[in-house]
């Protein structure tokens, strides 16, 4: 049994992970920005008598993080696992997205991970034990057009995690990265497209890709299972691609030169649709131009 803190538990991967870990007898401190606005997780925990404690935590606010960690340590004398999951995303071109979108995504997805980690590290280092699991994305290794803020923030998480793993080695603290493919979570709903206003017609391809991928309905429970394996030491890998599309996409990118990958953004519509079909993605029905 481990004492586990999870950020971003109001929905999606965080919500599913909190439930699965609690069902497996771990004590979960599930955090979210405004617990009073989302009581579903608390209701399930109460009805099923699950060891889930819900706390307010905003990963963009240092004081909020410190207060949440202080509450955790009030309830228990040891933090075994920190899962940095909170994340946001928006689709759009570099030119047309407001600079605030870049700042907000980097602040939440990357700096939020750094903030939470820094608050927990002294405790883990003194105990010479612990595990930090950072939820990245295949987008942290594969960079695609109209996804620059998200990819940049997740690439930063990847680099940060690898550096951190080396630093923590002498103290017996594990670091692991989880790299989900496209998962059926509310994050996709929040990736608002700007097709009607954009000067970049290929933005529609990006939206169609995510729509077709999400149509496969890969639930966040798949990611939660991977996290459980890491927590239970059934996986000791540093990087953990997760979901049926993650390893194939990572493999495809690894097989291509940078130049060929970039050039792929310039293929004609029918060629692009055919490439997507080879990946078992029916994008045609999401394109309005054909």
What is the C-alpha to C-alpha distance for residues 251 and 222, in angstroms, rounded to an integer?
Answer: 20
* Dihedral over Cα of 152, 156, 162, 165: its sign: negative
11 is catalytic: no
What is the C-alpha to C-alpha distance for residues 110 and 134, in angstroms, rounded to an integer?
Answer: 10
213 is catalytic: no
154 is catalytic: yes
Burial 58-83 (b: 16+ CB within 10 A, else e): bbeeeebbeebbeebeeeeeebbbbb
What is the C-alpha to C-alpha distance for residues 65 and 116, in angstroms, rounded to an integer?
Answer: 6
Which is catalytic among the residues 11, 136, 161, 213? 136
- Of 57, 66, 67, 28, residue with least CA distance to 45: 28
What is the C-alpha to C-alpha distance for residues 115 and 203, in angstroms, rounded to an integer?
Answer: 33
Q: Cβ neighbours of residue 150 under 8 Å, at least 6 residues apart?
A: 89, 90, 105, 109, 137, 139, 191
150 is catalytic: yes
Which is catalytic among the residues 141, 150, 211, 213? 150
Angle between helix 12-23 and helix 40-48 axes, rounded to 10 deg: 10
Which is catalytic among the residues 11, 141, 154, 161? 154
Task: Judge whether 69 and 5 are in contact, CB under 8 Å.
Answer: yes
Task: Judge whether 283 and 273 are in contact, CB under 8 Å.
Answer: yes
Beta-carbon neighbour count of residue 101 at 10 Å?
18
H-only helix segments in 84-197: 99-105, 112-127, 148-168, 186-190
Active site residues: 10, 136, 150, 154
């Amino acid at each position: 049994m481990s004492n586990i803190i999870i950020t971003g538990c109001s929905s999606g991967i965080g919500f599913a992970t909190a439930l699965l870990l609690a069902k497996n007898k771990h004590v979960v401190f599930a955090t979210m920005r405004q617990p009073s606005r989302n009581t579903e997780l608390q209701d399930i925990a109460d009805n099923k008598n699950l060891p889930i404690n819900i706390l307010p935590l905003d990963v963009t606010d240092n004081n909020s993080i410190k207060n949440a960690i202080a509450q955790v340590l009030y309830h228990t004398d040891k933090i075994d696992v920190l899962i940095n999951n909170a994340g946001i995303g928006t689709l759009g071109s570099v030119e047309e997205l407001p600079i605030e979108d870049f700042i907000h995504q980097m602040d939440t997805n990357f700096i939020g991970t750094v903030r939470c980690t820094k608050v927990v590290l002294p405790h883990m280092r003194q105990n010479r034990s612990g595990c930090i699991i950072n939820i990245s994305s295949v987008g942290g290794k594969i960079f695609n057009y109209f996804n620059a803020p998200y990819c940049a923030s997740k690439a930063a998480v990847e680099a940060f995690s690898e550096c951190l793993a080396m630093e923590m080695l002498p103290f017996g603290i594990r670091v692991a990265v989880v790299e989900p493919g496209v998962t059926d979570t509310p994050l996709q709903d929040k990736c608002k497209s700007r097709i009607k206003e954009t000067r970049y017609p290929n933005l529609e391809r990006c939206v169609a890709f995510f729509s077709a991928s999400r149509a496969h309905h890969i639930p966040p429970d798949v990611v939660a299972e991977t996290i459980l394996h890491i927590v239970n030491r059934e996986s000791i890998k540093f990087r953990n691609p997760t979901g049926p599309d993650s390893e194939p996409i990572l493999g495809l990118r690894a097989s291509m030169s940078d130049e060929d990958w970039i050039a792929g953004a310039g293929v004609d519509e029918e060629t692009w649709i055919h490439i997507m079909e080879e990946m078992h993605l029916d994008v045609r029905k999401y394109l309005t131009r054909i």
